[in-house]
Structure 1
Amino acid sequence: MRSFFLVLFCLIFSLELHSAPSKSQQQAQSLLLISIDGFAQHYMQRYKAPTLNRLAQGGVAAVSMQPAFPTKTFPNHYSIATGLYPANHGIVENNIYDADFDAVFRMSKPEEVTNGRWWLGEPVWVTAEKQGVKTGTYFFPGSEAAIKGVRPGLWQAYDGSVSNVDRVKSVLAWLDLPVEKRPQLLTLYFSAVDDAGHAYGPDSVQVAEAIAQVDQALSVLVAGLEQRGLLNSINLLLVSDHGMVKVPQQQVITLDQLFDEKKAALVLWTPEIVSIFPKAGELEPIYQQLKTSLPSQATVYKKSELPERWHYQNSKRIAPLLVVPEPGWRLMQKHKQQEWLKKTGLNAVTGSHGYDNNTPAMQAIFVGHGPAFAPGSQIPAFANVELYNLMCRILGIEPAPNDGNPDWVNSVYQAN
């Protein structure tokens, strides 16, 4: 009889042990990650955004958040999502060449954007889904692809014509789903501020208007959360991917006039980085030609010479030669410059990003609001690769390997 009770006791203890939630699961909370593309840190002081400021004052705000290099949209959104630097998560630029595929990834090629082969690492929605946490992503870069064979439970193919308020209403509708279907992790993405910054420059009336429009959409979100009794129980992370710097039209370097492009097997052109893949035996000739011909506002690097602080060397997708201009300058082909000037005129000022991630104008924002954050506090500047571990802590899931510092989370997360 004693042996029967001993077996019964062990069985009950075993069931309790396996059914008891872990400490992280006990503390698990919901999370809405909101990206305002192109919202520079200095916009917080320059432009009126009452809803964003209300959330910042009622939660945690960072002095700034440093984007990864290059300070571009896809690389930085995916660094936020994975906690990895671009060299480690594979989205090294908005335009990418992979020799194994012999294919080029561009933001304008949906057949590649939605192909999981490009997206390395593990974004937070994949980590969550693998551990039984429901997810819903609305227009977040990377979420249209099956990564490691996993998609978000709910997701939307990108459509820039959808209004800011309609994006908010869709996310609120997800929060109205029955508990068994409701996402615990959600994302939301706004593009209007970045669009205005590119077209008219960061100091423009149009940027002010775009910020006001996004802030109005945030007010609809806040009102919707308040109506549902969720504002103080769901965690909001409001971030941007990079800043914006003004670029006068005359500040252009016509790079194709400065080296023999026929010596290259492939050149990927963007105004802030030109990636050169030389033909066999032509690396040194191209390099020396550019070292001699480039003006002081741009630098040519061999991959091995890139600054270590950029964490931008250890990927086969990074070109053997890179040309990087100073902030406020563009690299262009001569015929592209002529087409551009016909549209805008010489005296126009536009905006750009992609430059050195130490540049003040490239710095991004971070605001955290909800039960995970002590209200009314400020934290020092930090790198965006730290956010992945923070999101995993909030969601009560185990993070995949990443480049963040796990101890950083303790400086911002408020245990409950």
Structure 2
Amino acid sequence: MDFGAAADEAPTSPLIRRAAPPPARSAQISFWVLFFLVVAYVFLSYGMGSSPSGSRPLSKLARPVILLVSSDGFRFGYQFKTSTPNIHRLIAGGTEAEEGLIPVFPTATFPNHYSIATGLYPAHHGIIHNYFVDPVSGDWFTVNNHEPKWWLGEPIWETVTSHGYNAAVYFWPGSEVIKGSWACPSKFCPKYNGSVPFEERVDTVLGYFDLSDDEMPAFIALYFEDPDSQGHVVGPDHPQITEAVTRIDRMIGRLISGLTKRGIFEDVTLILVGDHGMVGNCANKQIFLDDFFPEITISESWIRSYSPLLSIWPPANVSSWDVVTKMNQVLNSGKIENGKYLKMFLKEDLPARLHYSESYRIPPVIGLLAEGYKVSPKRTDICECNGAHGYDNAYFSMRTIFLAHGPQFERGRKIPSFENVEIYNLITSILKVKGAPNNGSVSFPNSVLLPSS
């Protein structure tokens, strides 16, 4: 709109002419009216979230670059526990899942990080928990296992490199697995070492932006262990969590500062996510398996995981249906303290929304615990209060954060919560690469991203 022309076309009745200021002052007023109207337009268009017609063209990057940052165990709401100016800078200048990001079930670290990377539910990408056994081979999976046989699907770094671009991954679960086009090059894929200072991780990542256009990775992932490491020890409401959140905010500020100094902060797509939330659980919220005796004997050798996901693999001569039926009968009888807070299922009878049945690796008997409760083998194993995750992803306490800032994300926009399997397609859409089959929605990116310029 030509605001100057509009001012020149104002009505000219005798009354208005008599009240008009001298010509020089009138010109000053027109200038300041124009100035403030332009400022108001920019503020409304960007600060208040009105949608521009399309994404902003890159000015200093040859192609889109995505920096995906994970803060482990960052429960949604932590960003309001203390001053987090850098995180709120991303919120104000980008797009936020207004009520948090929904993790996949089980709400554990490795299943969720690999779901973010592949767009697949754990039953499809194979990492069904942090620790589990393959019932065919008898081999155990641990977080230190990098054999490709465990890690199914195609993670985003493999997708990117298969299209001829570089990818860099700093400590993301699954990144050290060599499969497909991904060879985990030492320059772009350091071996996990939790003692590496967060500042060193950030500075290494920033160094990737000093490479030539041809060598600069199109996709970069960065992982921080906090505030999960504190949450397990002290729960979600302790001052140590506040300190950990402040530290994460400083790291985000360090990234923003480094990108700004290079003149590319507005060009880089920076996405901040967590993998799950955190909830406090205490001794008065325990269920003990030895309380089931003598109605049913559950051998510890059958147990694959206790809390918050009780996984049981009965031997071949014991019916899984009988285990579920008898355990539920005892739980409902009132004999078990806190028994109403545990419900047993055959895995195929679990709620479909959990997507946790279509894998031979998932044990046939699954127990779902209420929020904050835990299972222990014996009544002598009374635990102190701490923090946990892994519960049903319908619990709000399991939600984490999603913030995205970049050329294709509208400023100040709030979007509804969504499951993290959608992130893979979001990334491939921004990078304009063809993704592998996954459980995300093909239409999801169109509902979040600005139209391409």
| Structure 1 residue ranges (4+ consecutive) displaced by more than 3 angstroms after TM superposition | none
Q: Measured at CA, do residues 211 and 28 of structure 1 come closer, stay the same or move farther in structure 2, by a change above 3 Å?
A: same
TM-score (norm 2): 0.80
Distance 1:394 1:255 in 2: 49
Aligned to 1:329: 373
Task: Show the 5 A alignment for 1:62-211.
Answer: 62-63=97-98, 64-107=100-143, 110=144, 112=145, 114-148=146-180, 150-153=182-185, 154-211=188-245
Q: Measured at CA, do residues 178 and 335 of structure 1 come closer, stay the same or move farther in structure 2, by a change above 3 Å?
A: farther
Given that 1:328 and 1:352 are in contact with CA atoms closer than 8 Å, whether structure 2 keeps it comes out as yes
Aligned to 1:212, what secondary structure does the other structure show? helix
Given that 1:275 and 1:322 are in contact with CA atoms closer than 8 Å, whether structure 2 keeps it comes out as yes
Which of 75, 78, 92 is equivalent to 1:40? Answer: 75
Question: Which 10-residue stretch deviates more, 153-162 or 61-70?
Answer: 153-162
Distance 1:361 1:331 in 2: 19
Unaligned runs of at least 5 residues, structure 1: 1-25
Distance 1:41 1:320 in 2: 32
Given that 1:83 and 1:389 are in contact with CA atoms closer than 8 Å, whether structure 2 keeps it comes out as yes
1:58 aligns with 2:102: no
Alpha-carbon deviations, 1:276-305, whole Å to 9, x = none?
Answer: 111113123322331123310111110111
How many pairs were matched up? 378
Task: Show the 5 A alignment for 1:207-286.
Answer: 207-258=241-292, 259-262=296-299, 266-282=302-318, 283-286=320-323
Amino acid paired to 2:341: Q
Distance 1:120 1:303 in 2: 21
Distance 2:380 2:258 in 1: 46
Q: Measured at CA, do residues 231 and 253 of structure 1 come closer, stay the same or move farther in structure 2, by a change above 3 Å?
A: same
Distance 2:346 2:290 in 1: 18
1:399 aligns with 2:431: no
Deviation at 1:54?
A: 0.7
TM-score (norm 1): 0.87
Deviation at 1:376?
A: 1.3
Aligned to 1:217, what secondary structure does the other structure show? helix
Distance 2:403 2:380 in 1: 39
Aligned to 2:440, what secondary structure does the other structure show? coil
Given that 2:74 and 2:226 are in contact with CA atoms closer than 8 Å, whether structure 1 keeps it comes out as no
Given that 1:27 and 1:394 are in contact with CA atoms closer than 8 Å, whether structure 2 keeps it comes out as no
Aligned to 2:284, what secondary structure does the other structure show? coil
Question: Which 10-residue stretch deviates more, 401-410 or 92-101?
Answer: 92-101
Distance 1:265 1:203 in 2: 35
Q: Measured at CA, do residues 248 and 408 of structure 1 come closer, stay the same or move farther in structure 2, by a change above 3 Å?
A: same
Aligned to 2:272, what secondary structure does the other structure show? strand
Given that 1:126 and 1:152 are in contact with CA atoms closer than 8 Å, whether structure 2 keeps it comes out as no
Distance 1:316 1:292 in 2: 27
Deviation at 1:369?
A: 0.4
Q: Return the index of the structure with the highest Cα Rg.
A: 2
What's the RMSD between the two structures over aligned residues? 1.8
Given that 2:62 and 2:213 are in contact with CA atoms closer than 8 Å, whether structure 1 keeps it comes out as no
Given that 1:58 and 1:369 are in contact with CA atoms closer than 8 Å, whether structure 2 keeps it comes out as yes
Unaligned runs of at least 5 residues, structure 2: 1-60, 332-338
Distance 2:180 2:151 in 1: 9
Alpha-carbon deviations, 1:247-274, whole Å to 9, x = none?
Answer: 1233111225435234x76421242112
Amino acid paired to 1:293: V
Amino acid paired to 1:145: V
Given that 1:201 and 1:350 are in contact with CA atoms closer than 8 Å, whether structure 2 keeps it comes out as yes
Given that 1:34 and 1:188 are in contact with CA atoms closer than 8 Å, whether structure 2 keeps it comes out as yes
Aligned to 1:274, what secondary structure does the other structure show? strand
Given that 2:272 and 2:403 are in contact with CA atoms closer than 8 Å, whether structure 1 keeps it comes out as yes
Distance 2:131 2:352 in 1: 22
Given that 1:97 and 1:105 are in contact with CA atoms closer than 8 Å, whether structure 2 keeps it comes out as yes
